[in-house]
Every structure is written in structure tokens, then in C-alpha cells.
């Protein structure tokens, strides 16, 4: 049979769902080599826009966000079992379709997990015992660093000014003195964006606090200002929670207990930083809504924003139209879940072992057969030279 154009094969594969692409790995060695090549994975990551929801309580569940918003019935939950009969404890915000997950509170262990491909990697917790025995750390964050092409997990040891950093590429831990720039950061919910992890803060009338930023490449701290500098009639304290929607950093404020109407009007809604790191670019969106303390999950088509209410039951997930302030679509979850939106990807948790470079590839794939056009490998215009590698009879 005649050979198909490599560009056409790649274009077809890039349009397929993750599940279909994963099945094609078994078709032949050539298909496996192509689908697991780092350039193809980056091309797919740029091209894909399939939004998923990761839900967690004691266990993990995967939900098709688009289908859930279209269906009139309760969303279908696909339970994920990384380790059978083991209860899930905590999750770190993910990056590029990967999440860092913790099991077992007392003798806990960590996994890097891709819920779309079901691939996982257990992280050996072999940092020096003199530090580990303190057992006083909160989850920090997990993110991708494009400049060094690495995924890093950082956790914060309370009261010790110490960070433990795991490099997925190097498959190793290191300890760094923290020199935290703030007295009371909120290190529980770290959000990864632009090669850094971001945390909110506890706000007080005499000390509003800042957003704490940890650069994963330089392994240094910096701070960003909050969007509100002098709220009227503030309560004793309130929380600034950091989120990300698309390529933007955003925050919401949570207040428990008594508060005045003037204060609520000043802080309510979702604040988005339209220019990264620029204080003057803070803009308030979603000013009016019927949710208490809405959590932004992701951007949606035509100026839509996906929100959910994390207070009470059932959990409502809404598609909010920023232009007219109306709710376009809605789905309801009966359980008490935390929710994380992500774009599905082919990125493997076994990043350093399998295909972070062309080294270790099967012998039948020559270096000259797998190359880019010399452009940025993260751009959608990267093309693999696979002439003679795939033929028409290998399409399934």
C-alpha cells in the first residue's frame, strides 16, 4: 500500500481523544515511538482543548466537563484507582495534565499521576530523616518549568524556613532554605503558573498580606500585591485564595463570621491579573452571582467562565457569561467534592525515564528521523520527520 504523508498522520492523531491515542500505542512499535515522542506530546498539549474535571473526597473521580454541562442528568463519575483499596488524602494542583497526590496521612507517600492516561509514578520520600521526622509540612505546589523542561514538586516545612523540592527529570530531592518573605502565608493551596507556584495569604486589617510566589527555576521567593489595598470596615481576618484560569492568575476572598455589607461589596467576586506580576492590571470579574464564594475552574468558549460553589451540598458547576452576568449551563454533583479543572494531556509521570530526550529510544528510530523544524518545540508548528516510519496499513 502507498505511504501516507507524515503530516497527515500527525494531523489525524492530534485530533483524536486521549483514550484513542493511548490505544494506538499497542498498534505497532512505530506508533508507540511516535505517540511517546516528546515533540508529539508537546504538539498535542498545545492543540488539545479537552477540559476535564478531577473530583476528590476520599477517592478520585474523573468527569467529562463538556458532556456534563450538556447533559440534563447528573454527571457520570469515573472512579480512579491508583492503588486499590487505599483512601486518598490530599491533592496538589496539577500542571499540563499531571497531578501530585498524597496517600496515607501517617506514613504517607506521593504519586505523580496523569488521570487521563492513568499513568502514575511513586515518589521515593528519601529526603534526610533529620528533616522528615519533623512531620510538620503543608503541601506546597507542583508545576512545570519550561526554561529547564522539568516538573517540580515543592513542599514547605512549617516553622523551619525549609523547602523540600523534588525534580521529576532528575528523580531526586533537594533541601533549600526558604527565607519566606511573609510571616503567615497560606501554603495549602499552591497554584502553578508561568514556571512558579503561587499561594494566597491570611489578611488582617493592619497587615493585608501579599501573594507569595516561588520561582521553580531559580528556586527563590518573590511577592505580588493583592488587588485590594484598603477595604472598608474589615473583619478581624479573612483569606485570600489563589486560582488560575487559563493563562491568568486570579484570587477570591473568603470571610467567615461577621462582616459588613460594605466590606463584602468591596472584596466579592473574582479578581484576575490580566498582566502577570503587574498590580495595576488587577480587574474584578463575576461581580454578581448566586453562588457564595465562587471558585473559578477554567475559561470557557465565548467569554464564559466555569465556576463552582465549594460551600454546602449539592455542588453546583456553572458556566457563567461574563458579558451579561447570566448562567448559560449548569450541572449538579450530589457528593461533597473538591474540584480541579485541567486540560487532558499525554505527558507521562515517568518523565525522566521514558522520553524526556531521544536517548533510550528503540534502535530502529534514528535521530535524523525524529527532529523538529528548528522552531520552539512547544509551538503548534513543530513537525516530526517520520517519512517511511508509518504506512497506511498501520492505521487502525
The span from the CA of 192 to the CA of 142, in Å, is 6
Residue 299 covered by a domain: no
Residue 385 covered by a domain: no
User: What is the residue-level pLDDT of the chain in tens, covering all 396 positions?
Assistant: 346 677 788 888 888 888 899 998 888 888 888 888 888 898 898 887 788 899 888 788 899 888 888 776 678 888 887 766 666 667 777 889 999 887 765 556 788 999 999 999 988 776 654 444 444 556 688 999 999 999 999 887 766 678 889 999 998 899 888 677 776 666 667 899 999 999 998 888 888 889 999 999 999 999 999 998 888 888 888 889 999 998 899 999 888 777 888 888 888 889 999 999 999 999 998 876 555 678 888 888 777 888 887 666 677 788 888 777 778 888 888 777 888 899 899 999 987 544 444 443 333 333 333 343 333 433 333 334 443 344 333 433
Residue 28 covered by a domain: yes
The span from the CA of 219 to the CA of 178, in Å, is 9
Residue 325 covered by a domain: no
Give the domain range for residue 25: 1-47
* Phi and psi, residue 311, nearest 5°: -105, 125
Task: Evaluate the omega torsion of the peptide bond into residue 375 and state whether it is cis, within 30 degrees of 0.
Answer: no
375 CB-contact burial (10 Å; exposed 0-12 / middle 13-18 / buried 19+): exposed
pTM over 0.85: no
Neighbours of 65 (CB within 10 A): 22
Residue 365 covered by a domain: no
Query: What total of structural domains would you count in the chain?
Result: 1
* Diameter of the chain measured on Cα atoms: 77
Residue 374 covered by a domain: no
- What SS3 class is residue 7? helix
The span from the CA of 85 to the CA of 105, in Å, is 15
Residue 38 covered by a domain: yes
Which residues have CB under 8 Å from 153's CB, separation 6+? 92, 100, 110, 112, 123, 140, 141, 142, 165, 166, 168
Residue 117 covered by a domain: no
- What SS3 class is residue 62? strand
The span from the CA of 347 to the CA of 95, in Å, is 10
- What SS3 class is residue 262? helix
Neighbours of 171 (CB within 10 A): 14
Amino acid at each position: 500500500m502507498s505511504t501516507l504523508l507524515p503530516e497527515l498522520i500527525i494531523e489525524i492523531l492530534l485530533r483524536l481523544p486521549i483514550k484513542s491515542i493511548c490505544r494506538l500505542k499497542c498498534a505497532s512499535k512505530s506508533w508507540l515511538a511516535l505517540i511517546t515522542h516528546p515533540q508529539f506530546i508537546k504538539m498535542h498539549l498545545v492543540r488539545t482543548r479537552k477540559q476535564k474535571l478531577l473530583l476528590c473526597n476520599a477517592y478520585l473521580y474523573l468527569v467529562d466537563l463538556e458532556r456534563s454541562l450538556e447533559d440534563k442528568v447528573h454527571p457520570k463519575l469515573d472512579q480512579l484507582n491508583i492503588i486499590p483499596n487505599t483512601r486518598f488524602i490530599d491533592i496538589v494542583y496539577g500542571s499540563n495534565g499531571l497531578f501530585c497526590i498524597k496517600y496515607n496521612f501517617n506514613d504517607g507517600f506521593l504519586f505523580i499521576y496523569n488521570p487521563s492516561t492513568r499513568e502514575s509514578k511513586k515518589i521515593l520520600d528519601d529526603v534526610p530523616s533529620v528533616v522528615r521526622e519533623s512531620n510538620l509540612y503543608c503541601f506546597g505546589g507542583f508545576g512545570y518549568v519550561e526554561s529547564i523542561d522539568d516538573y517540580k514538586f515543592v513542599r514547605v516545612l512549617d516553622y523551619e524556613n525549609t523547602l523540600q523540592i523534588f525534580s521529576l527529570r532528575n528523580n531526586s530531592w533537594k533541601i533549600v532554605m526558604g527565607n519566606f518573605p511573609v510571616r503567615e502565608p497560606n501554603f495549602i493551596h499552591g497554584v502553578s503558573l508561568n514556571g512558579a507556584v503561587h499561594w494566597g495569604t491570611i489578611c488582617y486589617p493592619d497587615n493585608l498580606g501579599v501573594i507569595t510566589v516561588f520561582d521553580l527555576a531559580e528556586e527563590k521567593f518573590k511577592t505580588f500585591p493583592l488587588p485590594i489595598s484598603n477595604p472598608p470596615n474589615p473583619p478581624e481576618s479573612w483569606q485570600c485564595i489563589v486560582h488560575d484560569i487559563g493563562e491568568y492568575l486570579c484570587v477570591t476572598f473568603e470571610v467567615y463570621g461577621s462582616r459588613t455589607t460594605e466590606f463584602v461589596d468591596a472584596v466579592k467576586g473574582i479578581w484576575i491579573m490580566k498582566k502577570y506580576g503587574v498590580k495595576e492590571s488587577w480587574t474584578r470579574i463575576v461581580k454578581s452571582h448566586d453562588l457564595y464564594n465562587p471558585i473559578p475552574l477554567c475559561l470557557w468558549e465565548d467569554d464564559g467562565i466555569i465556576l463552582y460553589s465549594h460551600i454546602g451540598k449539592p455542588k453546583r458547576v456553572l458556566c457563567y457569561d461574563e458579558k451579561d452576568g447570566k448562567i448559560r449551563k449548569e450541572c449538579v454533583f450530589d457528593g461533597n467534592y473538591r474540584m480541579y479543572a485541567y486540560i487532558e494531556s499525554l505527558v507521562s509521570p515517568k518523565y525522566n525515564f521514558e522520553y524526556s530526550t531521544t536517548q533510550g529510544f528503540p534502535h530502529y528510530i534514528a535521530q535524523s528521523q525524529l527532529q523538529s523544524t528548528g522552531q520552539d518545540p512547544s509551538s503548534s508548528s513543530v513537525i516530526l520527520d517520520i517519512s517511511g516510519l508509518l504506512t497506511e496499513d498501520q492505521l487502525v
